[in-house]
Structure 1
């Protein structure tokens, strides 16, 4: 593959990743507008939850299908599903339609991210892969900031363009990917699809995510619904593992986990999602509820994290390609991330913006050093025929951990908030006139907090208590997240310091004869 073809393909893959990662963040700031237009306040959280569940559940399937039938048809299918669902979501006339089409959009999005990593791994060696995949990390950083800002702006114009904007970008990516990949042959093997494994895996993931999403909010953690979902997830997982030991072409080849590096990297990805990835979700909440900024403004305030992530993701990728090793980037990145999350436990109502921006910069620097080397570690150790499944396993573990961690940390924060409000709100209400106090008869969240605007206009004694309760709750969240992140330090220290395969790039000069993708074998 010529360098021009590689760069064109790489740009298209970055665009597909941007579409999928952007849709995880762009909808949040526009939800109040969407809910008001479609009159669906009771089900508004499902607009986000449906996409998350569908994305997480479908990720492992795409990896295996691409190993069997090739990258081009599978990634094109994912893009088409994503674009069709985006168009339908923009045309939605009620909340039920929007939720269903967001779920369909998630089915496409589940393949975009993992397959982008996989395709790059097909055309460049692990040694050279770091400097290319470093830019993928930059895409995540950009989407974390651009999503809320773009969502807020488009909601003021017409919220339907949040979905329509995907169409021209997706068509451009689809054309470029198709034109490049159809010129080059990638190994495929026509064998039976593991339908039974898919029938166990997908509902197992759905049951688990529903349990952690509903637990502590829609239902009590000890309710029959939540416990039943956990039990169903456990039974289906056990059945899935049993099926995978007998399947001709398992969705998740268990032989990959016999490699200690792969198994350890999978655990690290899961822990990363639970602690670090989910902890970051709550940073904008501090800016909005405690400092009173709008969702769009809080997105802009995340720029220092994006800058640090882009800088170290790209630069560390080039250094890894030069050195041919990745372990100490993982160790250092996990240390810096743990330090960044620990710094956020020091946030107060009056913390200056420059200081919180510094904390964000530290966190972004650590994430940029950590995320891509972990993917390289997993890709470096698996066999060529398992490359798609191995890559998707990393994304699946991280997404699953993020979903679980977000729900668990949310429960931790809610419990702390309720405790703080119950203890301090009565004293604040005593300082109000009887007419003012009449509106605050309950001490739970729904009575006093609906949005940053509501909090900002509360009577001062109540506002101070609410902001302090949020601060204390978020401090506890970041303390728990930092403690989990510290576990990754120990785990990464056990990673072997292996040399990345491929001392030379697998991309030939455009004038060279017989340009082709060079297959690699596992050491």
Structure 2
């Protein structure tokens, strides 16, 4: 017999993380659907938490060249400061998503927020790059929780037909945080008496405010049921996602691309994937429900999300570096030049969300968004160190609109096909593959960028000038002739990585064209005839 209960302490919620446990799960379908006012009160808490985490993450983007130069890091370490958070976010997202189906979502989102604050404070105190990378991994772990639980809460209290409207609010919050983050980070770095460490510390008061708002407004009715946690699924998913990224990082430096070590990495990956499939197909509460993945809409959404992740994360993460290193701009100016990308994302998210709610049709926005993403990345592939800023900014605007139309709508398409009991795991599965694509994209494109820059600098300045230290990123302290070569190398190599991202983004367009549009239902849960 199921027993209703109120929000319980963390100790009761997360007791006995292996084997069988009694747990409380959110069950909004058991009561009347929430009013618009009640939904907005819930969103206040969710969006406050999301904004805190996102702005704390995007603040770092324009500060990274300064951070890596100050800590005497290399281009490979620059990439790993970004990859570390993406990797832990990727492997933790399906875990958080499944936990949101099993445990109280309010406790989970607050726990994720606290973890993010701890990671931010420790990152601000970093004395070397490995320390910083470890703290970024902690931040990524929390980001996975915030993204997964927020999507699960929205999916469990709002009917799909209305979800586009509220997903638009989430997308707008993400866009505003992403727009203001780089600019604020640039201002902090350039302000005497502050410096890059305050890019991490600034999130603390925002996080405290978010926790207060969540405690005040987020109230979810829950029921107690008997569940089993998929511990081994979490382990093998983490291994399967991590090994290819480690291979990309070390191949070419520690060992040859084609070598026995490479074969060992990929053999281990295949074994881990096989074990994931076996565990998930036999576990009664799998982290990644295979019956959901096998559904056509979900499988195509996953393929599209991987391509979007590679193109979006992998392409945009190096824009701040392009403007600062190749363009010679300050972090503040680099933040201003990045505004068209995020403004476009804001417009694409809000407009598509409102139109989907009005007409109930979503496929056209996936197709249009994918096409705009391909066009924007193709235009960015033409940039080099002599490209005028307006050209890059216009191209970024086109790319941003496409991103905005794709970010939430692939998740919406999948949520429309599953019951409210599995909406957390289903949403997290799509987010997992999008984040995985982004992590792979950052790693691969970062490796391409580092290789191109090293080769160009070696050809023009000699091999001794392209060593693995942080001197190349600290352009302002290089001799004028060497600085000019380095700026040219970074500018020209950036166009090459956008070309790769544009080619990959075509996969999203193909997936969007192939996906079957299912009319959005107007109820939170599926009816008996839909099962």
Q: TM-score range by the shorter chain?
A: 0.7 to 0.9
Q: Deviations over 1:113-157 (max 9, x none)?
A: 121122112221111111211232233333434333333433450
Q: Deviations over 1:361-413 (max 9, x none)?
A: 11111111222211111111122211001111111111110111122222333
Q: Aligned partners of 1:48, 1:344: CA distance in 2, in Å?
A: 21
- Does residue 178 of structure 1 match 2:204? no
Counterpart of 1:127? Answer: 161
Indicate the larger mover: 122-131 or 404-413: 404-413
Counterpart of 1:496? Answer: 516
Counterpart of 2:6? Answer: none
Counterpart of 2:506? Answer: 486
Q: Aligned partners of 2:510, 2:167: CA distance in 1, in Å?
A: 25
Alignment of 1:333-372 (within 5 A): 333-372=369-408
Q: Deviations over 1:338-370 (max 9, x none)?
A: 111111122243332222221111111111122
- Does residue 12 of structure 1 match 2:45? yes
CA contact (8 A) 1:60 1:252 kept: yes
- Does residue 257 of structure 1 match 2:277? no
Q: Aligned partners of 1:264, 1:276: CA distance in 2, in Å?
A: 18
Counterpart of 2:473? Answer: 450
CA contact (8 A) 1:27 1:148 kept: yes
Alignment of 1:44-443 (within 5 A): 45=78, 47-90=81-124, 98-155=132-189, 156=191, 157-182=194-219, 184-186=220-222, 189-217=225-253, 219-222=255-258, 226-421=262-457, 425=460, 442=464
User: What SS is found at the alignment partner of 1:25?
Assistant: helix
* Structure 1 unaligned spans of 5+: 430-439, 507-517
Q: Aligned partners of 2:431, 2:167: CA distance in 1, in Å?
A: 14
Give the Å deviation of 1:498. 1.7
CA contact (8 A) 2:313 2:439 kept: no
Q: Aligned partners of 1:476, 1:44: CA distance in 2, in Å?
A: 20
TM-score by length of 1: 0.85
CA contact (8 A) 1:69 1:190 kept: no
Q: Deviations over 1:251-305 (max 9, x none)?
A: 1110102310011101110111123431222333332232211233212201111
Q: What is the count of residue pairs matched by the alignment?
A: 491
TM-score by length of 2: 0.83
Q: Deviations over 1:10-54 (max 9, x none)?
A: 122122222333343333444566568778889955544432322
Counterpart of 1:436? Answer: none
Q: Aligned partners of 2:76, 2:463: CA distance in 1, in Å?
A: 26
CA contact (8 A) 1:382 1:390 kept: yes
Give the Å deviation of 1:67. 0.5
CA contact (8 A) 1:9 1:180 kept: yes
Counterpart of 1:434? Answer: none
Cα 1:105/1:297, change in 2 over 3 Å: same
Q: Aligned partners of 2:65, 2:327: CA distance in 1, in Å?
A: 20
Q: Aligned partners of 2:386, 2:474: CA distance in 1, in Å?
A: 20
Q: Deviations over 1:218-241 (max 9, x none)?
A: 554345555433332321221111
Q: Aligned partners of 1:126, 1:238: CA distance in 2, in Å?
A: 34
